A and B are shown apart, each in its own frame.
Chain A
Amino acid sequence: MEPSLNARWTDAQVTEVSEEPFYLPVRDEVAVFEAASARRLPVMLKGPTGVGKTRFLRYMAWRLNRPLVTVACHDDLTASDLLGRYLITGGETVWIDGPLTHAVRTGAICYLDEIVEARKDTTVVIHPLTDDRRRLRLEKTGELLVAPPEFMLVISYNPGYQSLTKNLKPSTRQRFIAIDFDFPPPDLEVEIIAHESGVDRETARRLVQLGGLIRNLRDAGLDEPASTRLLIYAGLLIHSGIAPRRACELAIAAPISDDPAVREAVLDLVTTVFAE
């Protein structure tokens, strides 16, 4: 581990996943990801927020035994933030690798989370890494890095984002194979919630039932329907002794919508599923 790196980067971090993260495969995503890794293909994890994209990636990093470099993208992220820059320390100037460069050098998995948030000109720097030459040119140091076989580029993308100004350019998205993520099937989601929050099966089952009902309102103007993550949060509160109805109100109803009618309907669903 290089703590100095993590301290230098404000929007990125390197993690060595040493313990197996809890992840239940939904379909063939593990095999697909392994194949993509073996064939050095860049991967796009596509799906709504809170359904396990990041967890899946941690799990894969553990399985493939690679360090994971995660970059949280935002609209002030510059190419230098990804590639690196010279800094003055003491009387000397030192080149500091950015997270992307670091990942290329060390053969890590580089994960650009919520790529649409990044400016379009920033996104372009990843293009040369996504074709079969897998190269990264650093203008400043004059280096031409060729990514080792272990290096892998992964981005996440949430198509549910309705803002027209935030969309992934076709020229970018068509460089990736896309693994679709959606809410896990009910049985799996029960397992996940029970495991992650510590609630019993029956409570987990109720939470999943509630999640399913709320997700039926997807086209009613919900920004994001109740994600697995929110259901887990509700479970955590319940496990800590908060009454189920109140826990769901706090963890699910309030965060998902500001629309009073939608919120009230969600609360009605909570009281339909959970007894006092």
Chain B
Amino acid sequence: MLRSVLKRLRASEPVAEQPGQPAVVELAELEAVLSLYVRALSAGSLRIAAGPSGVRSPATDGRTVFLPPALPADPSLGHARLRYRLMTAWTVLQARSGCLELAPLPPASPASALAWYELLHGEWVDRRLAREWSGLAPVLVELRREELAARQAKRSAGDGWAEQVLRHLLDLPLDPLAASTMTSEPPPVPLEAEVWERLVAALDDAGLESLRALALELAAQVPAVEHPFDLPTYRARIRPELLTRRPLFGTPELSDRPASTALDRPAVRRGDPLVVEARSPAQAPRRARGSGRGGRQAIQLSLGDREAPPTLSRLTPLSEAEKAGATLYPEWDCWSGSYLPDWCAVRQTRARGGNVELVERILRQHRPLVQHLKQQFEALRPERLRLTRQLDGDELDLAAIIEATADRRAGLSPSEKLYSRTLERERSIALACLVDLSGSTGAWIDDDPRNEQVIEVTRRALVFLCEALSVLDDRYAVFGFTGTTRKQCQIRVIKGFDEPYGAEVKGRIAGLAPGAYTRIGPALRHVSGILARQPARVRLLILVSDGRPNDFDGYGGRYGIEDTRRALLEARQRGLATFALTIDAEARDYMPYMFGPYHYVVIENLPALAAKLPELYRRLTLR
């Protein structure tokens, strides 16, 4: 906590200059932990992102929990942290309990029905939260008390019915037992006492059906309700316009028919700061740096990638010109269940060099981390192994001699292997690291204080990996891949197996720039071919990617995933081990299907990726 205060004071002078400015806790400071927290609570179905600045309440589109970018540290930083945690848990529960499913609230129902439902379901979620995650109950009770006090202070004769009902509800204890002993006076609203009783009872129901029905009933009885009205700040408003359906890859079982994959996505209002727009990758490389916070963009995949199978007209072989100078690879066509021979043209070039100073700067900025990684990697160095029971060696093997003596006494012919010698145990590992250089890596990392692009993190990851590997003798190579359509798949050699890690390689790492698309299959086939020729006992291919397979010419959705899976299968059949590091929060839907369980890691907190790559390699090659 102290560290973060100091950091903030140092980072933003204006705050320090304005004595009246209250201290805040920024979401960015907690993001690494909160993203794991939300993943655990939602079983991986939700992620977090920052909402627009100035907003104090959470929101959700059913896939993402949007949290306020900052919360006042009032009365302390610890409280703000707790409030972040509570808002996250609250919104997870809201999304998970089906509160967002508005049926049977008919689309034509009056605005007041949604207002009543929002109010009632908020109370319901509060109660549910206190029961299910009871460790948070004290925080919630505290927030409710604050909320009620603030509302009572502001009360006026002009308060609407909903406001009065809410105050009344906030005054009820959360515990159903305590509530039942209280005489709950109905609020001064034109409501029948019987309806109020039903309402209070429904708040402790397991399901939401009766609350939905009550909301409609109330809307009919008390129609004049202000909407949207001021909800308690920790509660997430229901925003039907934000909600997206869960798409295709809910489970690893892929649906069979491509026709059934049509995406039913409600139209989103453009310009809504809460809406994370899907965009086509083609736009990405040219994307201008946004201004300030407005430039924030969640890493999101193109949602237009669920297409029909290619029509016959598109099934034309590559022309001679398209084949020129390229290595050809087949592609797995899941629609026909067969390989399309010589389908992709892969061209391998050296990655362009850039300013080495960029890499040196990374090294200067992260010196302690690099030192730490190197130390860790030193522990992987081949240990000296004492081989016992050898025919020859530097020392006598006492255990072997005793055994031989015993054997001789027992009348057996004793073993002649009576020596021991030490041996450097060889690691014999070859690593090919394949890095996604598609256009999406040009995206700005959502809510990163450094306002970085994904490619910057990739660059750091490669520097860290190469630095750490410099203390070992493991053979390794680094490739980048990008391309546009199957005719132009590009492999950029950043470091070849036989090249040393020096100024030239550093220059190429510095020169990395986002390209176009993510056609993973041909890149995997090409690199696994190179890796398979390396003389090593363990051959490991690590893919670093920011999204699912995607290319302009229909290489997306199930087709791309099936081809990638096939390419990985081929690699494994060649005796290569494959592993993936991905930053796509939706990757959990398809990674196990492509890589198999235990063979991938999803990084939610993107800046953490850089250190994760060498760490992953270390773990994979531990003895």
Residues of A within 8 A of B (CB): 75, 80, 85-88, 92-93, 95, 140, 159-160, 162-166, 206, 209, 213-214, 216-217, 219-221, 223, 245, 261-262, 264-265, 268-276
Contacts and interface: CB of A to CB of B under 8 A. Distances in A.
Interface residues of B, number: 48
A262 B36 contact: yes
Given A86-B406, A86-B410, A264 B33 contact: yes
B608 A213 contact: no
B24 to A, nearest CB: 20
Nearest to B598: A160
Given A85-B406, A216-B39, A272-B133, 4 more contacts: A93-B407, A164-B538, A220-B36, A220-B39
B323 to A, nearest CB: 36
A275 B36 contact: no
B32 A271 contact: no
A163 B39 contact: no
Interface in B328-363: none
A261 B135 CA distance: 20
20 contacts: A85-B406, A88-B409, A95-B410, A162-B598, A163-B621, A163-B622, A164-B538, A165-B621, A209-B132, A213-B40, A216-B39, A216-B41, A219-B44, A220-B39, A220-B601, A221-B612, A271-B135, A273-B134, A274-B134, A274-B135
Contact of B620 (A163, A213, A261, A270): A163
Contacts of B85: 268, 271-272
B600 interface: yes
A92 B410 CA distance: 8
Contacts of B538: 164-165
B402 interface: yes
Given A163-B622, A164-B577, A261-B32, A275 B403 contact: no
List the 10 closest pairs (A to B, CB-CB), nearest first: A265-B36, A86-B406, A261-B32, A93-B406, A93-B409, A93-B410, A213-B40, A216-B40, A272-B133, A264-B33
Contacts of A270: 135
Contacts of B132: 209
A228 B294 CA distance: 46
Interface string B30-49: 00111011011111100000
Contacts of A162: 598, 619-620
B406 A88 contact: yes
B33 A265 contact: yes
A140 B412 contact: yes
A128 B329 CA distance: 44
B36 A213 contact: no
A268 B37 contact: yes
B175 to A, nearest CB: 12
Contacts of A87: 402, 406
Interface of B: 32-34, 36-37, 39-44, 85, 89, 132-138, 402-403, 405-407, 409-410, 412, 429, 538, 540, 577, 588, 591, 598, 600-602, 604-605, 608, 612, 616, 619-623
Given A160-B598, A165-B622, A271-B135, A216 B43 contact: yes
Interface of A (DSSP majority class): mixed
A178 to B, nearest CB: 15
Contact of B405 (A88, A219, A223, A273): A88
Contacts of A245: 135
A264 B32 CA distance: 9
Nearest to A261: B32
B605 A261 contact: yes
Nearest to B537: A165
A265 B410 contact: no
Nearest to B43: A216
A272 B41 CA distance: 10
Contacts of B616: 221
Contacts of A165: 538, 621-623
Given A216-B39, A261-B605, A140 B407 contact: yes
A118 B377 CA distance: 24
A111 to B, nearest CB: 24
A272 B135 contact: yes
A166 to B, nearest CB: 8
Given A93-B409, A163-B619, A85 B37 contact: no
Contacts of B621: 163-165
A219 B36 contact: no
A120 B442 CA distance: 46
B534 to A, nearest CB: 14
A276 B136 CA distance: 9
Nearest to B403: A85
A214 B40 contact: yes
Q: Output the residue of B32, B41, B135, B623 with the most chain A CB within 10 A.
A: B135
Contacts of B33: 261, 264-265, 268
A217 B40 contact: yes
B139 to A, nearest CB: 9
Nearest to B587: A219
Contact of B39 (A80, A93, A206, A217): A217
A86 B36 contact: no
Nearest to A96: B406
A165 B37 CA distance: 32
A17 B37 CA distance: 43
A195 to B, nearest CB: 23
Nearest to B619: A162
A221 B89 contact: no
Contacts of A85: 403, 406
B40 A88 contact: no
B602 A219 contact: yes
A164 B540 contact: yes
A140 to B, nearest CB: 7
* Most chain A C-beta atoms within 10 Å of own C-beta, residue among B540, B577, B602, B622: B622
A117 B36 CA distance: 31
A259 to B, nearest CB: 9
Contacts of A213: 40-41
Contact of A219 (B134, B600, B605): B600
Contacts of B623: 75, 163, 165-166
Contacts of B40: 213-214, 216-217, 265, 269
Nearest to A139: B412
A93 to B, nearest CB: 4
A87 B404 CA distance: 9
Contact of B137 (A209, A268, A275): A275
Contacts of B44: 216, 219
B598 A275 contact: no
B136 to A, nearest CB: 5
Contacts of A164: 429, 538, 540, 577, 620-621
A170 to B, nearest CB: 12
A275 B406 contact: no
Given A159-B598, A162-B598, A220-B39, A273 B135 contact: yes
B407 A219 contact: no
Contacts of B41: 213, 216, 269, 272
